[in-house]
Structure 1
Amino acid sequence: MTDRLPGPTKMTDVANADAPQMPLLYKNPVAVSAQHHANVKVKRNRTFRYASKIHAVPVLAEEMPQLQNHYPLVFGPGPSAGVMALLGLRAGENLFLREDFTWAYNAQIPAYIGRYPFILVEMPEDKRLVLIMEEDEEILIRGEGAEGDLPLFKDGKGTKEGEDILNYCVAFNQSARQTQLFCEEVEKLGLLVDQRAEVVTPEGKQLSLSGFRVIDEQKFNELPDETFLEWRKRNWIGLVYAHFVSLGRWQNLIDRLPKGV
């Protein structure tokens, strides 16, 4: 069985109602407002059913040193591709969710998944940043809710919890821009090579995953000294080694395959 990774999605696409493609996980997001979300709260004890059908998710550069311990970290296809964490070996299957849709113990949750259902986008007509969200009833609740749920507004004004969500999204976007710079430089220097993963399940079945790229270690080692020093100043060398280390995590995925696969 052969699967390919999904291609890149621009974060600003969601700000355009006519955009043909939404960012991963988002289907019909709306702007967050006191008028429409006055009594909306975010469930503190969430599940991750919304991520059950994805096998690859974008990651930020700053989280790569932690994620390397759990997931293979690869580069997607295409010139504007970013870094992605592989959550499964087949399309539509996230191997890090338990039966109750909680995340696997001791496995760090990628920031892209933790940010959902919110996202900060730039409105193209005036360059204004707007916080929007997917009105997912499994994450959000209208009314009183349970103890510990996080209100977005109170008495028509934003709450501290709402501000924290906004600040998290701002920090996410800033980190995403830095990640993009790293990926653009890797692409520009021609360090990426196409890769295909061939794995054999405990039952002896062969699975193949394609449509992703990795950094060629020899090409990386042949970088000029001045480039290496510049990358070290920008803390990019550690990102490359995190990527290399993560490529030894394929067994993590194989070990999580359901019996009989």
Structure 2
Amino acid sequence: MYRITIVEDDDKIARLLGEALERYGFEPQRAQRMKELTLDFEEQQPHLVLMDINLPYFDGFYWCRQFRQRSNAPVLFISARSGEMDQVMAIENGGDDYVTKPIHLDLLLAKIKSALRRSYGEYAAAPRSGEGAERAHDPQASDKPGHGAPAGSFELRCGALRLDISRSLLLWREQSAQLSRNERLLAEALLEADGAIVSRDRLLESLWDDTAFVDDNTLTVNVTRLRRKLEELGLGGVLETHRGQGYRLNDADLAAGPDGGGL
């Protein structure tokens, strides 16, 4: 049973959400310590978090950043704030999706199920045959919540750049960068293409089941975040934008050296 932590200071909304989640077979958990939510995160080990923005002491953006230091489990923001910048801020601070109040329960449940499928279920990382990038099986995979891979762990490669899917880590020579769930999914799609251009539609599909609810700007924000992680590894120019077509990883820049890439 999936554990879902509800971070909501409105008792009525939190209760209604909990009752709805329980009816659909989830295990709802209410966050209690609004001043020390990290303690609730550590104790509850959620598979997914529903996060309000307007909270006592610190806002939901702050707590999402704190949660991201501990887990890559999906975070869905729920807020009465419907402005585009609020949604951009939610994504930039580590969120995976955004639902505005008043809450339409069917839409919320669809987004929850989609996020869980992508992180732990049928759409989670798994080996695929016939694709350009190499996958290596890791029998020591972690199945803890938030690690983004099911019972087996797999690795993607493009040149000397590696993606450890079970740990959501990008590895380049002696360095590594921790990825959020959305950054990992984008990296998967790009590494699997093995230097070919990946369309914006394909990248949107890799992040969300139903792209009808997704603002195109949301993809741009996530690509920008992945670029920053690549820059941390000294790969600032490797993720190329091809206007009107999509994005690609410059595999020539990622080619391993004579020493096999120094990994």
Normalised TM-score (structure 2): 0.24
Q: Which has the higher relative contact order, 1 or 2, with Cα contacts under 8 A spaced 6 or more apart? A: 1
Q: Select the structure of larger CA radius of gyration.
A: 1
Relative to total residues, which structure has the larger helix share, 1 or 2?
2
